[in-house]
Structure formats: structure tokens, C-alpha cells
Chains A and B, each alone.
Chain A
Amino acid sequence: MSDLAEAAKERIQKEGLPLVAESKTNLPLYVSIRELPLRFQFGTSKIQKFFEGLKDGKIYMTRCNKCGEGFFPPQADCPKCIDTDVKWIPLSGEGELLTCTMIFVKPSTFMHYDNYVVGIAQMKEGVRVLAWLRIADPAEIKPKMKIKLQTTIRKPEGILTYEFVPI
């Protein structure tokens, strides 16, 4: 529970109202007693092969069979051809780093991770991918450095995802 919510609870017990003085400005705040947890869910039917691939250690892109446009993230629809005739292609993993950042101030749901490096790499197949770069010393990052894209298990959740590693 946040400090504000905690303070609001105390104020309710004392005076029946969740009125709390804001810590920096001392202005009165009404702290809502209704908390709304949000967890979204979305359909994967059209790109189920991508998730099946992760289980086999593969990272798939798609390519339109008509116009040849490559898609990563993979998608089953080509808006240009108005067609769903796409090929599923496993990426070789070979690529080079185009840019990166290291996230120091993290979103609230990422607080439990160490600071992480996020990069965008140009893959041999023509598409670009955004993912974490696993690197012991960020000072070793160089423009255009060769990287490999591979599947990984993210701890502590144990979730299958993908990452870059330096070659």
C-alpha cells in the first residue's frame, strides 16, 4: 500500500474522511478508497506460431508471400496486399546493434529487476527487433556491434522471451 493510502486509512479511523496533507505542499488531498487493479488480456490466435516457436527456441518473423514485405513483430495480415498469405520464417539470430539505452528509472512493475539495457538491432533478414541486451559491462557496447538474438527464460517469473547477447 502506498504511503498516501496508508495515511488515508489512519485519517478515516480518526475523523471519518480520507483527507491527507500532501507531503511536499501540505495541501489537502482526498485519497480515493477505491483501488482499481488492471491486468489486460489479448488474443494470440493469429500469431500463435510465434509463441509455439519460443518453446522450440525459435523466434519467428512473417513475410508476405505476395509483396515480400517482412514483419517483426510478426503479423498474419499484409495491409498493402489486403491478404493473409504470409510465410513464417525463423530468424537466424544474426544482427548488429543500431542503438540502445540503459533504463535506470523503471516502471512500477519492473522495479524488481536490475537496471536493464534495451537495444534495437538490424537482423540479417531485413527486419529490426527491440529486446534486452545481456551484457556484463555496458561500457563494452559499441555502435554496430554484432549480436545474436536468442530465446531466454526471464527470471524470477520463468517466462519465455528473447534477448540479444554480444558475439
Chain B
Amino acid sequence: MNLKNVGIVGVGHSTFGNRYDVRIDELAWEAASEALKDAGLEAKDLDFLVVGCAGGWSAESLPAVICSEYCGTLPKGSMRVEAACATSSAAATVAYNLVASGYANLALIIGVEKMYESPGPVQIELIGRAGNYFWEFENFGMTFPGYYALHATGYMWKHGMKEEDLAEIAVKNHHYACMNPKAQFRKEISVDTVMGSRYIAWPLKLFDCCPLTDGSAALILANEDIAKKTSETPVWISSIGASTGTGNLSRRDMFSKLEYSGLESAVEAARQAYKRAGIDYQDAAQQFDVACVHDCFTVAELMAYEDLGFCRRGEAVNLVREKQTYNGGLIPINIDGGLKAKGHPIGATGCSMIYSLTKQLRQEYGKLAGKEAQATINKGRALAHNIGGTGHYAYVTILDLEKPHY
């Protein structure tokens, strides 16, 4: 492929949580306006807007249009992209290709979700339908925690993980969310807090689960010429891997394999991304200063460690027990609080990860969240692992301070 280099020149992020105070377009603008200021640009400079919004629970059927109008990008082209919880990584993939191909010089991505426009039980029902509707939901009433619980049980049965191991992940992510002023839950918890919470879908308990969240995050992508002029420290998108898993969980071969408990799609997305960036799968943990992985449930973070090649199969619990994914460990993971405690506005999460990692690579994250949350940057490289549904979609995005050479 003969693609142009694409740099991130502006990032923005709303406060996550119950955002009963704003409509979806107002919420989108919070992130978009911050990204524009960060880049020193105006809305009229942009060539295209890609909106990531999973929707279904919110009133607006055409969020890309509503957001274009409010954010002042009319009459430029726009679209809405959906890939479940990986929605805005997919939106970023579209925008990346618009810029890399030369179709657009500057593209804005807004990931936005307004989940609290519907009552909680309706949100739970809609997310539960995010699999194979007839064969999993109609008669069996699967829920999103239920899907990941099937993985958690499979993992426990194969590798002897304990519920306490999962609790350690929640403790870590809450710890870092306390420092993130944009996070939904800013409260330390202990293993006892998790273990004492009620079951949602056995073996997952309330504190193993991410919350329902309203929020937005935005990125501005530019081609190389503009990126160099606009930004002193453009963060380059050096590689994106994408993969799709079966809709129906029962069709995943992994459940029949003894040695394997992760998401096949995540492994495939990681392999694609590493190949393009020239990274050895076995050595992946050594290649990044910091990573954001998709911890919609504690077990999902554990599976991500193995799917990304940060450790061998069955050994993720050791990384957890040895606190190797705290800042200063082998590889700091979700030190912005993760989905678990920062919150998980479905369509905004991918952009939120890339927001955190861009700030980390620019060494600006400490200004936002305090020194303890700023990773040491010496490799100049970061990774975002964003999963849609239960491995239905997988996107792995690699960010680099050094300009890629293909």
C-alpha cells in the first residue's frame, strides 16, 4: 500500500459519567472543542467528520448529522460508524484511511454515547442483544456480563484462576481512575469490596463490571505536511489491525481447546498490527511504554494480556499478582482507570483510549492526572486494544512518536 503518514494533532475528552446535563450534540462538542483548541484549528479547517456512536438507547437516529451541525463542520462530509464497543476505533480506522489515502487532509473523529437517555434495564437488554439475536437472546436471555462470564468460567476451569485474581484488576483500575479528573468512578476499592459485591453473571460480580456511561472523546487526524506544521509533537498512527469474531459464542473453537481462553479476533488484530509495525508477538510487552486494553469486565483485561502476547497463555494471573501492569511494572496498562472505572460510553471508548495514550506519549498525562499516572516514555510507542461486543469486533491501534516508514 502506498499510504501517507497520518498524525494525531488534537485530542479532546468530556467528563465521563451520568451526563443528564447535556444532549448528545452538546456532549460531542465538549470533546470536539477541546480537540480543536488542542490542535489550534477551527471547525471550518476540517475536511470530514466521522462519528462513532453505537446508539439504540438514545433519541437521535442520525448522530453524525446532529453532531456535524452543532460542531460547525457543515457542509463537510460525515458518517456514523458502528462496531459495538469498538465503535470509535472503527471510526478512527475510517478517518485514518481517509487521510492516508489523500481523500481528506484533516479529519475529525468524535466518539460519543448517551446511554442514559434510556432506563438501565433497557440498556442492559440492548447490550444483551449484541450477539446473535435469535440463537442467544430470544430464548436464552444472554447479557453482556453473561457473555464475558462464559469466558471467565472457561478461563477458571482451564487455568485455575480465582475470583480474587479478577478483583485485583478492578482494584488497580479504580486506583488510577482516582487520579483521572474525567473518570466516572474516583474511589479506591479493595479486593474485599469486589468480593463482597453481588453477582451480576456468575462468576462476575458488580465490581468486575464497567458501568453504563455517557461520554465523548475526539481526535483530529492530519496528513504529514499539516501534522508537522500544526503540532510540535504529532503522535503518528503507525498501525491498525482489525478482525471480526463469530456472532454466536458457541461457534468459537477456543471453547473446545484446552490451552486457549482468549478472543481469536483480538489475537488476529494484534498479529496484523504487529506485523505492519514490525513487532515480534512474543516480545510485545517490551515494545510499548503504556497500553490501554479493553476491560469492560475484569476478565477481559486478563484475556487481553494473553491475546496481545504480553505473556504466555494461562500466565496473565501472574502479571496481575505481581502488579506488573501498574505504572513502573513490565507494562503499565489502563493507568487512566480503564473502562472499568473511567467508564465505558460504548461509542467513545476507542477514542478515549487514544486520547489517554496520545497524552501519555506527549508526556502531558501527568498534567491532567498527576505524576503517578504518567508513564515513563522511552520507547515512544503505545497500544490501544479495543474490543466490540465479546470479541465480535477487535481493533488494535499502535501509536508512535517516531514517524512510520513503510
Contacts and interface: CB of A to CB of B under 8 A. Distances in A.
Interface of A: 2, 4, 22, 24-25, 27, 29, 32, 40, 42, 72-73, 98-111, 113, 116, 118, 120, 122, 127-132, 138, 143-144, 154, 159, 161
Interface string B180-213: 0000000000000000001111111000000000
B59 A103 contact: no
A130 B140 contact: yes
B250 interface: yes
Given A102-B199, A106-B124, 18 more contacts: A4-B119, A29-B20, A73-B248, A98-B256, A99-B154, A100-B153, A101-B203, A103-B146, A105-B143, A105-B145, A108-B121, A109-B125, A118-B150, A120-B249, A129-B250, A130-B135, A130-B142, A138-B202
Contacts of B204: 101
B141 A116 contact: yes
- Which DSSP category, helix, strand, loop or mixed, fits chain B's interface? helix
12 contacts: A22-B20, A72-B250, A73-B248, A99-B151, A100-B153, A101-B146, A101-B149, A106-B143, A107-B137, A111-B121, A120-B250, A127-B250
B134 A42 contact: yes
Given A73-B135, A104-B198, A98 B255 contact: yes
Contacts of B252: 128
A108 B120 CA distance: 9
Contacts of B232: none
Contact of A100 (B143, B145, B150, B251): B150
A3 B61 CA distance: 25
Contacts of B125: 107-109
Contacts, number: 111
A144 B150 CA distance: 14
Contacts of B200: 104-105
B26 to A, nearest CB: 13
Contacts of B133: 40
Contacts of A138: 202
A130 B153 contact: no
Given A22-B20, A98-B255, A131-B140, A107 B153 contact: no
B21 A27 contact: yes
Contact of A99 (B18, B124, B157): B157
B163 to A, nearest CB: 13
Contacts of A111: 121
Closest 9 CB pairs of A and B: A101-B149, A110-B141, A107-B125, A108-B121, A99-B154, A143-B157, A102-B202, A130-B250, A27-B20
A121 to B, nearest CB: 8
Interface in B118-140: 119, 121-122, 124-125, 128, 132-137, 139-140
Nearest to B148: A101
A101 B18 contact: no
Contacts of A107: 121, 124-125, 128, 137, 141, 143
Contact of B256 (A4, A102, A128): A128
A128 B250 contact: yes
Contacts of A109: 125, 141
B202 A101 contact: yes
A103 to B, nearest CB: 5
B143 A103 contact: yes
A101 B201 contact: yes
